Structure 1
Amino acid sequence: MTIKVGDKIPSVTLMQATAEGPREITTDALFADKTVVLFGVPGAFTPTCSAKHLPGFVTQAAALHAKGVDTIACVAVNDAFVMGAWAKDQGISDEVVMLADGSAKLATALGLELDLTARGLGMRNQRFVLVAKEGVVTHVAVEAAGGFEVSKAEAVLAVL
Protein backbone atom coordinates (compact mmCIF):
# COMPACT_ATOMS: atom_id res chain seq x y z
CA MET A 1 0.00 0.00 0.00
CA THR A 2 1.35 3.42 -0.96
CA ILE A 3 2.08 5.85 1.85
CA LYS A 4 -0.44 8.67 2.18
CA VAL A 5 -0.99 11.90 4.08
CA GLY A 6 -1.37 11.19 7.79
CA ASP A 7 0.79 8.04 7.73
CA LYS A 8 3.91 7.74 9.85
CA ILE A 9 7.21 7.29 8.03
CA PRO A 10 8.19 3.61 8.38
CA SER A 11 11.20 2.77 10.52
CA VAL A 12 14.00 1.70 8.17
CA THR A 13 17.78 1.84 8.28
CA LEU A 14 19.45 3.51 5.31
CA MET A 15 23.07 4.26 4.51
CA GLN A 16 24.79 7.58 4.01
CA ALA A 17 28.23 8.20 2.51
CA THR A 18 30.55 10.12 4.81
CA ALA A 19 34.26 11.04 4.71
CA GLU A 20 34.82 8.15 7.15
CA GLY A 21 32.91 5.70 4.96
CA PRO A 22 29.28 4.55 4.85
CA ARG A 23 27.26 5.00 8.03
CA GLU A 24 23.80 3.88 9.02
CA ILE A 25 21.04 6.42 9.47
CA THR A 26 17.53 5.51 10.54
CA THR A 27 14.40 7.15 9.30
CA ASP A 28 13.45 7.57 12.96
CA ALA A 29 16.50 9.81 13.50
CA LEU A 30 16.18 11.59 10.16
CA PHE A 31 12.54 12.60 10.65
CA ALA A 32 12.47 13.15 14.45
CA ASP A 33 11.38 16.64 15.51
CA LYS A 34 11.91 18.04 12.01
CA THR A 35 10.15 19.00 8.83
CA VAL A 36 11.73 16.93 6.09
CA VAL A 37 11.35 16.93 2.33
CA LEU A 38 12.28 13.50 0.99
CA PHE A 39 12.44 12.96 -2.72
CA GLY A 40 13.02 9.63 -4.35
CA VAL A 41 14.65 9.06 -7.70
CA PRO A 42 14.85 5.92 -9.82
CA GLY A 43 18.64 6.01 -9.73
CA ALA A 44 21.78 8.04 -9.27
CA PHE A 45 23.42 9.31 -12.46
CA THR A 46 20.25 8.76 -14.51
CA PRO A 47 19.36 11.55 -16.97
CA THR A 48 16.35 13.30 -15.40
CA CYS A 49 17.63 12.70 -11.88
CA SER A 50 21.02 14.26 -12.62
CA ALA A 51 19.94 17.04 -14.97
CA LYS A 52 16.74 18.22 -13.25
CA HIS A 53 15.52 16.51 -10.09
CA LEU A 54 18.52 16.73 -7.74
CA PRO A 55 19.77 20.10 -9.10
CA GLY A 56 16.31 21.60 -8.60
CA PHE A 57 16.36 20.81 -4.89
CA VAL A 58 19.88 22.20 -4.57
CA THR A 59 18.83 25.42 -6.32
CA GLN A 60 15.67 25.75 -4.20
CA ALA A 61 17.25 24.72 -0.87
CA ALA A 62 17.24 28.24 0.62
CA ALA A 63 13.62 28.81 -0.42
CA LEU A 64 12.58 25.47 1.10
CA HIS A 65 14.39 26.27 4.35
CA ALA A 66 12.69 29.68 4.39
CA LYS A 67 9.33 27.84 4.31
CA GLY A 68 10.25 25.82 7.41
CA VAL A 69 11.97 22.77 5.96
CA ASP A 70 14.77 21.55 8.23
CA THR A 71 16.16 18.78 6.04
CA ILE A 72 16.09 18.00 2.32
CA ALA A 73 16.94 14.40 1.54
CA CYS A 74 17.32 12.42 -1.66
CA VAL A 75 16.93 8.64 -1.67
CA ALA A 76 17.73 6.13 -4.39
CA VAL A 77 17.98 2.36 -4.56
CA ASN A 78 21.76 2.53 -4.91
CA ASP A 79 24.59 1.86 -2.48
CA ALA A 80 26.24 4.52 -0.32
CA PHE A 81 29.36 4.59 -2.51
CA VAL A 82 27.29 5.40 -5.61
CA MET A 83 25.30 8.05 -3.73
CA GLY A 84 28.55 9.57 -2.45
CA ALA A 85 30.03 9.63 -5.96
CA TRP A 86 26.83 11.17 -7.33
CA ALA A 87 26.89 13.86 -4.63
CA LYS A 88 30.51 14.64 -5.52
CA ASP A 89 29.69 14.71 -9.25
CA GLN A 90 26.78 17.09 -8.61
CA GLY A 91 28.75 19.34 -6.23
CA ILE A 92 26.46 18.56 -3.28
CA SER A 93 27.78 19.61 0.10
CA ASP A 94 25.16 19.88 2.82
CA GLU A 95 22.17 21.21 0.87
CA VAL A 96 20.77 17.72 0.37
CA VAL A 97 21.29 14.60 2.48
CA MET A 98 22.05 11.75 0.09
CA LEU A 99 20.56 8.44 1.24
CA ALA A 100 21.22 4.96 -0.07
CA ASP A 101 18.40 2.40 0.04
CA GLY A 102 20.45 -0.38 -1.52
CA SER A 103 17.98 -3.18 -0.84
CA ALA A 104 14.86 -1.08 -1.57
CA LYS A 105 13.65 -1.50 2.02
CA LEU A 106 12.37 2.08 2.30
CA ALA A 107 10.96 2.05 -1.23
CA THR A 108 9.02 -1.12 -0.40
CA ALA A 109 7.92 0.11 3.05
CA LEU A 110 6.58 3.30 1.43
CA GLY A 111 4.82 1.28 -1.28
CA LEU A 112 6.81 3.25 -3.85
CA GLU A 113 9.00 0.51 -5.30
CA LEU A 114 9.32 0.21 -9.06
CA ASP A 115 10.23 -3.15 -10.57
CA LEU A 116 12.51 -2.52 -13.53
CA THR A 117 14.07 -5.99 -13.58
CA ALA A 118 12.75 -6.61 -17.11
CA ARG A 119 14.91 -3.66 -18.23
CA GLY A 120 17.96 -4.90 -16.32
CA LEU A 121 17.68 -2.28 -13.59
CA GLY A 122 16.29 -4.29 -10.68
CA MET A 123 14.06 -2.75 -8.02
CA ARG A 124 14.02 1.05 -7.89
CA ASN A 125 12.03 3.94 -6.43
CA GLN A 126 9.21 5.50 -8.27
CA ARG A 127 9.95 9.20 -8.73
CA PHE A 128 8.27 10.87 -5.74
CA VAL A 129 8.42 13.57 -3.12
CA LEU A 130 6.96 13.70 0.34
CA VAL A 131 6.92 16.18 3.18
CA ALA A 132 6.80 14.95 6.75
CA LYS A 133 6.53 16.87 10.00
CA GLU A 134 7.86 14.99 13.02
CA GLY A 135 7.66 11.76 11.04
CA VAL A 136 4.06 12.16 9.82
CA VAL A 137 3.42 12.67 6.10
CA THR A 138 1.74 15.99 5.27
CA HIS A 139 2.18 15.81 1.48
CA VAL A 140 3.04 13.08 -1.00
CA ALA A 141 3.22 13.22 -4.79
CA VAL A 142 4.19 10.37 -7.10
CA GLU A 143 5.02 10.92 -10.75
CA ALA A 144 3.22 9.12 -13.54
CA ALA A 145 5.57 6.90 -15.56
CA GLY A 146 8.06 9.12 -17.33
CA GLY A 147 6.71 12.27 -15.67
CA PHE A 148 8.55 15.08 -13.94
CA GLU A 149 6.08 17.64 -12.63
CA VAL A 150 4.66 16.87 -9.18
CA SER A 151 7.92 15.84 -7.50
CA LYS A 152 10.14 18.76 -8.45
CA ALA A 153 11.27 21.36 -5.92
CA GLU A 154 9.04 24.09 -7.31
CA ALA A 155 5.97 21.87 -6.85
CA VAL A 156 6.93 21.30 -3.20
CA LEU A 157 7.39 25.02 -2.63
CA ALA A 158 3.88 25.60 -3.97
CA VAL A 159 2.35 23.31 -1.31
CA LEU A 160 4.35 24.49 1.71
Structure 2
Amino acid sequence: MSVKVGDRVPSVTLKHLTESGMQEVSTDDLFKGKKVVLFSVPGAFTPTCSAKHLPGFVDNAEAIKAKGVEDIVCMAVNDPFVMQAWGKANNVAGKVTMLPDGNGTLTKALGLEMDGTAYNLGHRGQRFALVAEDGVITRLEVEKPGAFEVSSAEYVLKVL
Protein backbone atom coordinates (compact mmCIF):
# COMPACT_ATOMS: atom_id res chain seq x y z
CA MET A 1 0.00 0.00 0.00
CA SER A 2 1.39 3.39 -0.93
CA VAL A 3 1.53 6.53 1.15
CA LYS A 4 -1.24 9.08 0.75
CA VAL A 5 -1.81 12.76 1.35
CA GLY A 6 -1.59 13.45 5.08
CA ASP A 7 1.02 10.74 5.72
CA ARG A 8 4.55 11.59 6.84
CA VAL A 9 7.45 10.91 4.53
CA PRO A 10 8.95 7.68 5.90
CA SER A 11 12.05 8.06 8.05
CA VAL A 12 15.01 6.46 6.26
CA THR A 13 18.69 7.21 5.79
CA LEU A 14 20.26 7.12 2.33
CA LYS A 15 23.78 7.60 0.95
CA HIS A 16 24.41 10.75 -1.08
CA LEU A 17 27.59 11.59 -2.98
CA THR A 18 28.67 15.22 -2.53
CA GLU A 19 31.79 17.17 -3.40
CA SER A 20 32.97 16.23 0.13
CA GLY A 21 32.49 12.52 -0.53
CA MET A 22 29.83 10.02 0.52
CA GLN A 23 27.42 11.42 3.10
CA GLU A 24 24.38 10.04 4.86
CA VAL A 25 21.16 11.98 4.43
CA SER A 26 18.05 11.29 6.46
CA THR A 27 14.61 12.04 5.13
CA ASP A 28 13.83 13.56 8.53
CA ASP A 29 16.51 16.21 7.93
CA LEU A 30 15.75 16.61 4.24
CA PHE A 31 12.08 17.47 4.84
CA LYS A 32 12.16 19.07 8.30
CA GLY A 33 10.68 22.55 8.43
CA LYS A 34 10.62 22.94 4.64
CA LYS A 35 8.32 22.70 1.66
CA VAL A 36 9.90 20.13 -0.66
CA VAL A 37 9.01 18.71 -4.05
CA LEU A 38 10.27 15.14 -4.49
CA PHE A 39 9.95 13.54 -7.89
CA SER A 40 10.92 10.00 -8.73
CA VAL A 41 12.06 8.59 -12.03
CA PRO A 42 12.50 4.93 -13.02
CA GLY A 43 16.17 5.49 -13.81
CA ALA A 44 18.94 7.95 -14.48
CA PHE A 45 19.96 8.33 -18.12
CA THR A 46 16.78 6.59 -19.32
CA PRO A 47 14.92 8.17 -22.28
CA THR A 48 11.91 10.02 -20.80
CA CYS A 49 13.73 10.73 -17.54
CA SER A 50 16.66 12.34 -19.35
CA ALA A 51 14.80 14.06 -22.18
CA LYS A 52 11.84 15.45 -20.24
CA HIS A 53 11.50 14.70 -16.53
CA LEU A 54 14.74 15.97 -14.98
CA PRO A 55 15.25 18.79 -17.54
CA GLY A 56 11.73 20.06 -16.84
CA PHE A 57 12.53 20.51 -13.16
CA VAL A 58 15.91 22.10 -13.94
CA ASP A 59 14.26 24.56 -16.37
CA ASN A 60 11.39 25.36 -13.98
CA ALA A 61 13.35 25.36 -10.70
CA GLU A 62 13.22 29.12 -10.24
CA ALA A 63 9.45 29.28 -10.83
CA ILE A 64 8.81 26.32 -8.52
CA LYS A 65 10.95 27.82 -5.77
CA ALA A 66 9.11 31.13 -6.20
CA LYS A 67 6.01 29.23 -4.99
CA GLY A 68 7.65 28.65 -1.60
CA VAL A 69 9.41 25.37 -2.36
CA GLU A 70 12.81 25.27 -0.65
CA ASP A 71 14.17 22.12 -2.27
CA ILE A 72 13.44 20.11 -5.40
CA VAL A 73 14.64 16.53 -5.05
CA CYS A 74 15.08 14.01 -7.87
CA MET A 75 15.08 10.41 -6.67
CA ALA A 76 15.88 7.21 -8.54
CA VAL A 77 16.73 3.67 -7.55
CA ASN A 78 20.28 4.15 -8.79
CA ASP A 79 23.63 4.31 -7.02
CA PRO A 80 25.13 7.59 -5.77
CA PHE A 81 27.80 7.66 -8.49
CA VAL A 82 25.25 7.40 -11.31
CA MET A 83 23.01 10.05 -9.74
CA GLN A 84 25.95 12.44 -9.33
CA ALA A 85 27.04 11.94 -12.94
CA TRP A 86 23.47 12.37 -14.21
CA GLY A 87 23.10 15.56 -12.19
CA LYS A 88 26.35 16.98 -13.60
CA ALA A 89 25.30 16.05 -17.14
CA ASN A 90 22.08 18.03 -16.61
CA ASN A 91 23.56 21.05 -14.81
CA VAL A 92 21.40 20.62 -11.71
CA ALA A 93 23.71 22.53 -9.34
CA GLY A 94 21.68 24.89 -7.17
CA LYS A 95 18.43 23.78 -8.81
CA VAL A 96 17.74 20.11 -8.07
CA THR A 97 19.10 17.81 -5.36
CA MET A 98 19.95 14.37 -6.71
CA LEU A 99 18.92 11.69 -4.20
CA PRO A 100 20.03 8.12 -4.90
CA ASP A 101 17.85 5.41 -3.41
CA GLY A 102 20.30 2.67 -4.35
CA ASN A 103 18.60 -0.13 -2.46
CA GLY A 104 15.07 1.16 -2.98
CA THR A 105 14.70 1.76 0.75
CA LEU A 106 12.68 4.97 0.51
CA THR A 107 10.83 3.80 -2.58
CA LYS A 108 9.65 0.65 -0.77
CA ALA A 109 8.79 2.60 2.39
CA LEU A 110 6.62 4.91 0.25
CA GLY A 111 4.98 1.85 -1.32
CA LEU A 112 5.81 3.17 -4.80
CA GLU A 113 8.13 0.52 -6.17
CA MET A 114 7.70 -1.10 -9.58
CA ASP A 115 8.90 -4.31 -11.13
CA GLY A 116 10.89 -3.40 -14.21
CA THR A 117 12.38 -6.85 -14.75
CA ALA A 118 10.48 -7.27 -18.04
CA TYR A 119 12.57 -4.35 -19.33
CA ASN A 120 15.80 -5.59 -17.71
CA LEU A 121 15.63 -2.75 -15.14
CA GLY A 122 15.13 -4.81 -11.99
CA HIS A 123 13.06 -3.26 -9.22
CA ARG A 124 12.75 0.51 -9.49
CA GLY A 125 10.57 3.37 -8.37
CA GLN A 126 7.39 4.41 -10.10
CA ARG A 127 7.31 7.78 -11.79
CA PHE A 128 5.70 10.19 -9.31
CA ALA A 129 5.89 13.61 -7.70
CA LEU A 130 4.99 14.60 -4.18
CA VAL A 131 4.93 17.82 -2.23
CA ALA A 132 5.67 17.67 1.49
CA GLU A 133 5.54 20.41 4.10
CA ASP A 134 7.57 19.75 7.23
CA GLY A 135 7.64 16.07 6.29
CA VAL A 136 3.88 15.70 5.73
CA ILE A 137 2.74 14.80 2.22
CA THR A 138 0.34 17.49 0.97
CA ARG A 139 0.13 16.32 -2.64
CA LEU A 140 0.95 13.02 -4.35
CA GLU A 141 0.74 12.37 -8.08
CA VAL A 142 1.58 8.88 -9.35
CA GLU A 143 1.80 8.25 -13.07
CA LYS A 144 -0.05 5.43 -14.79
CA PRO A 145 2.38 2.93 -16.36
CA GLY A 146 4.08 4.46 -19.39
CA ALA A 147 2.62 7.93 -18.78
CA PHE A 148 4.39 11.21 -18.17
CA GLU A 149 1.90 13.90 -17.17
CA VAL A 150 1.10 14.45 -13.49
CA SER A 151 4.68 14.18 -12.26
CA SER A 152 6.09 16.70 -14.74
CA ALA A 153 7.55 19.96 -13.54
CA GLU A 154 4.95 21.87 -15.52
CA TYR A 155 2.09 20.03 -13.82
CA VAL A 156 3.65 20.39 -10.37
CA LEU A 157 4.13 24.12 -10.96
CA LYS A 158 0.48 24.44 -12.00
CA VAL A 159 -0.84 22.77 -8.83
CA LEU A 160 1.48 24.42 -6.29
Shorter chain as denominator, the TM-score bin is over 0.9
**CA positional deviation for 1:119:** 2.7
CA displacement 1:117-142 (0-9 Å, x = unmatched) = 23321110100000000000000000
Q: CA RMSD in A?
A: 0.8
In structure 1, stretches of 5+ residues that fail to align are: none
1:75 aligns with 2:75: yes
**CA positional deviation for 1:28:** 0.3
Structure 2 residue matching 1:7: 3-state secondary structure: coil
Structure 2 residue matching 1:56: 3-state secondary structure: helix
Could you say which residue in structure 2 is the equivalent of 1:51?
A: 51
**CA positional deviation for 1:17:** 1.7
Identity level (%): 61
After TM superposition, the score normalised by the length of structure 1 is 0.97
CA distance in 2, matches of 1:32, 1:67: 18
Once structures 1 and 2 are overlaid, which stretch shifts more, 20-29 or 47-56? Answer: 20-29
User: Residues 8-47 of structure 1 correspond to what in structure 2 (within 5 A)?
Assistant: 8-47=8-47
1:84 aligns with 2:89: no
After TM superposition, the score normalised by the length of structure 2 is 0.97
Could you say which residue in structure 2 is the equivalent of 1:138?
A: 138
CA distance in 1, matches of 2:141, 2:5: 10
Segments of 4+ in structure 1 off by > 6 A?
none
User: How many residue pairs are counted as aligned between the two chains?
Assistant: 160
**CA positional deviation for 1:159:** 1.2
